[in-house]
């Protein structure tokens, strides 16, 4: 019998306290099963080199609970350890057997080895009052040994009658960790961290993992049905994805995975953290913001890389050039895939634009390399949904009509086709091409693209009367006399605390609306962005400013001669106020008491002229 003290190699690790090695205590099971996988993968490597004799079999890992004995046991049939190896690897904290094995057999599928820190085994003491390791080496002349430790620096190492190759790690669960004696709790942890491990893992006699998930196979081996089935395995309650990208890189870094584009509606709720990060098929985290570009955080799927640097708990990324390289590679792969679909299957691409547009626009705003590629496959939908334009197609279509005095192409857009319908129809009547920019990211997108695209300016279709959408025109003459114009300005004088209203009388087309309400493009954009982003600073400044509104009275509309002849001043003012309110309604600016007053005023203007006949006086 051997007795001694565990030797801590402090130069290799941060000072560790067994209870605080990991912030989440459930991690212990992931670490112990990862060790069991490593033991199995090592044996496979040795067998392939002829250094392990005989058939090695399937090498399953078994997890067993004994509630009466209060033990949890993890058993493998892997490489096992000799007494000397137990002394070396278990009694010297942070001397990683996995890392030593990788160095010795460099070039022999070393990426299959998970553990590189030498600390994972000690996570067992976070939940245990005592740990036993019963192990027998693959070396036939070596006896089995049993190592026991209660979490103190003292241990016992004795021979054991175990006859089968492999290792049993027996945890005597402590009184403050009895949750880990619950079947459902253990199964949940296994399904979270171990569902795609390459070695079969059994719990309660049932295998809990898929040892060959889709991302570990070659794209040439997989059908559309395979990719969709794997997506269903990851997200069983989701609609089928739009399409997917299979990542498979072995130089200058190792990276595999499948990223799916999910269906997203314009009224979506942002659900990030749907991409799972694995290291050699062991789940690590779904916090992948340093690996995946921010604009692709709405994607779903799996990324697996042994080259992603992780800290001791494998929960947080550490700074490393590979992270940036992987980030850039994913961006390029996504851009290439989108361009490929656009070029080969444009109709299908357009049908999916409602979801794809969010990714593309967000990427163009935040990543200049993606912007450069995306300029080719960004599309904008026509206001009447008749077609889609790329930027170049739109420029070529509108160049003759929609180029302002500064030589810039004016992109006229609608952010709400239903609410802005009358403005759209008026602009289309002039021959203008209106595009829809109505998603949650479009306010920011418009501002960014005006800075990044050359000779392009955006104008919302309701930001000006139609004659001023391209260039500011001088006030056109109306058929009204100067006195009539001044009378209308007085009648239209508006007092709402939340609005700064100015009134102008212009000679628009007789077919145009009698009053058009418009808001300055810049100020409205700032208020829209403030409403979206919330918070303080400039956002709060713009959010709290009164809305600037211009009421353009169409002096050529045939209704005004009749209104100006009205002899009842009260009735005349009510009609004028209603016309103004209707214009404000089109901008969504009539609310609260003003909206109530409009409704009541409309009722007052209705008078029964004859039994059974109701008409609106004018």
429 SS3 class = helix
| Domain 214-329 part of CATH 1.10.20.140 | no
pLDDT of residue 519: 84
Is this prediction's pTM over 0.85? Answer: no
φ/ψ of residue 471, rounded to 5: -140, 150
Q: What is the CATH number of domain 2-205?
A: 3.30.565.10
Please list the residue range(s) of the chain that carry CATH number 1.20.120.790.
482-616
pLDDT of residue 199: 94
Confirm if 280 and 113 have CB atoms less than 8 A apart. Answer: yes
Is the dihedral angle over the CA atoms 532, 537, 538, 541 positive or is it negative? positive
pLDDT of residue 502: 87
**Using one digit for the tens of pLDDT, what is the confidence trace for 74-86?**
999 999 999 999 9
C-alpha to C-alpha distances, 163 to 2, 27, 94, 134, 137, nearest whole angstrom: 21, 30, 29, 11, 10
Report strand pairing: 409-414 vs 434-436. Answer: parallel
Angle 477-480-485 from CA coordinates, rounded to 5°:
90
Please list the residue range(s) of the chain that carry CATH number 3.30.565.10.
2-205
Confirm if 559 and 580 have CB atoms less than 8 A apart. Answer: no
Quote the distance between the C-alpha of residue 63 and its chain's center: 35
Confirm if 411 and 456 have CB atoms less than 8 A apart. Answer: yes
8-state DSSP, 239 = P
DSSP calls for 551-569: EEEETTSTHHHHHHH-S-H
| Domain 379-468 part of CATH 3.40.50.11260 | yes
Quote the distance between the C-alpha of residue 316 and its chain's center: 18
User: How many Å apart are CA 508 and CA 562, to the nearest integer?
Assistant: 18
pLDDT of residue 102: 46
Superfamily of domain 482-616: Heat shock protein 90, C-terminal domain (1.20.120.790)
pLDDT of residue 50: 86
| H helices, E strands: number in the chain | 18, 26
pLDDT of residue 476: 65
Angle 194-59-195 from CA coordinates, rounded to 5°:
15
User: How many Å apart are CA 270 and CA 286, to the nearest integer?
Assistant: 15
Structure tokens at 559: 């209704």
Q: Which residues contact 430 (CB under 8 A, 6 or more apart)?
A: 401, 466, 469
Show the low-confidence residues of the chain (pLDDT under 70). Answer: 1, 4-23, 93-119, 265-273, 309-320, 474-476, 529-544, 607-618
pLDDT of residue 433: 95
**Using one digit for the tens of pLDDT, what is the confidence trace for 150-208?**
877 788 999 999 999 999 999 999 999 999 999 999 999 999 999 999 999 999 999 99
Please list the residue range(s) of the chain that carry CATH number 3.40.50.11260.
379-468
pLDDT of residue 499: 83
């Amino acid at each position: 019998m051997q007795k001694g003290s565990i030797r801590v190699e402090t130069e290799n690790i941060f000072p560790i306290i067994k209870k605080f090695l990991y912030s989440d205590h459930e991690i212990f099971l992931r670490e112990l099963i990862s060790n069991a996988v490593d033991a199995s993968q090592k044996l496979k490597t040795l067998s392939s080199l002829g250094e392990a004799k005989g058939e090695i079999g399937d090498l399953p890992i078994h997890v067993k609970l004994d509630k009466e004995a209060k033990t949890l046991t993890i058993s493998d049939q892997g490489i096992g350890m000799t007494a000397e190896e137990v002394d070396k690897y278990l009694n010297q904290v942070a001397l990683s057997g996995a890392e030593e094995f990788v160095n010795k057999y460099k070039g022999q599928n070393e990426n299959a080895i998970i553990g590189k820190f030498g600390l994972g085994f000690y996570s067992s003491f976070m939940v245990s009052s005592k740990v036993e390791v019963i192990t027998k080496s693959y070396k036939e002349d070596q006896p089995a040994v049993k190592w026991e430790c209660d979490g103190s620096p003292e241990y016992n190492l004795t021979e054991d009658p175990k006859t089968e190759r492999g290792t049993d790690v027996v945890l005597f669960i402590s009184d403050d960790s009895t949750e880990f004696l619950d079947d459902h709790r253990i199964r949940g942890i296994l399904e979270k961290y171990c569902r795609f491990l390459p070695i079969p893992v059994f719990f309660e006699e049932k295998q809990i993992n898929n040892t060959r998930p889709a991302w570990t196979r070659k794209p040439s081996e997989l059908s559309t049905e395979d990719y969709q089935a794997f997506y269903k395995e990851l997200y069983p309650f989701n609609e089928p994805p739009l399409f997917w990208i299979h990542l498979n890189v072995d130089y200058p870094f190792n990276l595999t995975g499948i990223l799916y584009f999910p269906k997203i509606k314009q009224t979506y709720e942002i659900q990030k953290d749907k991409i799972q990060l694995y290291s050699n098929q062991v789940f690590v985290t779904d916090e992948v913001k340093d690996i995946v570009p921010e604009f692709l955080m709405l994607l779903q799927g799996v990324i697996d890389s042994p080259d992603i640097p992780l800290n001791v708990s494998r929960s947080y990324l550490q700074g490393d050039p590979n992270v940036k390289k992987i980030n850039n590679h994913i961006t390029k792969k996504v851009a290439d895939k989108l361009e490929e679909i656009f070029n080969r299957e444009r109709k299908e691409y357009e049908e999916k634009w409602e979801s794809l547009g969010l990714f593309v626009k967000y990427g163009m705003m935040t990543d200049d390399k993606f912007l450069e590629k995306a300029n080719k496959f960004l599309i904008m939908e026509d206001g009447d949904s008749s077609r889609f334009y790329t930027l170049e197609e739109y420029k070529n279509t509108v160049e003759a009509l929609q180029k302002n005095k500064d030589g810039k192409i004016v992109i006229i857009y609608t952010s709400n086709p239903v609410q802005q319908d009358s403005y759209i129809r008026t602009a289309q009547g002039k021959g203008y091409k209106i595009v829809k920019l109505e998603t949650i990211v479009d306010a920011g997108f418009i501002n960014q693209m005006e800075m990044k695209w050359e000779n392009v300016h955006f104008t919302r279709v309701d930001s000006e009367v139609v004659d001023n959408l391209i260039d500011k025109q001088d006030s056109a003459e109306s058929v009204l006399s100067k006195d009539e114009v001044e009378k209308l300005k007085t009648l239209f004088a508006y007092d709402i605390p939340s609005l700064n209203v100015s009134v102008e009388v212009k000679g628009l087309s007789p077919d145009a609306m009698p009053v058009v309400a418009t808001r300055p493009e810049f100020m409205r954009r700032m208020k829209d962005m403030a409403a979206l982003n919330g918070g303080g600073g400039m956002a709060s400044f713009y959010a709290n400013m009164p809305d600037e509104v211009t009421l353009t009275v169409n002096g050529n509309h045939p209704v005004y001669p009749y209104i100006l002849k009205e002899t009842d001043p009260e009735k005349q003012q009510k009609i004028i106020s209603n016309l103004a309110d209707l214009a404000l309604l089109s901008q969504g600016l009539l609310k609260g008491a003003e909206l109530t007053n409009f409704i009541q005023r409309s009722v007052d203007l209705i008078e029964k002229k004859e039994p059974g006949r109701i008409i609106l006086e004018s």
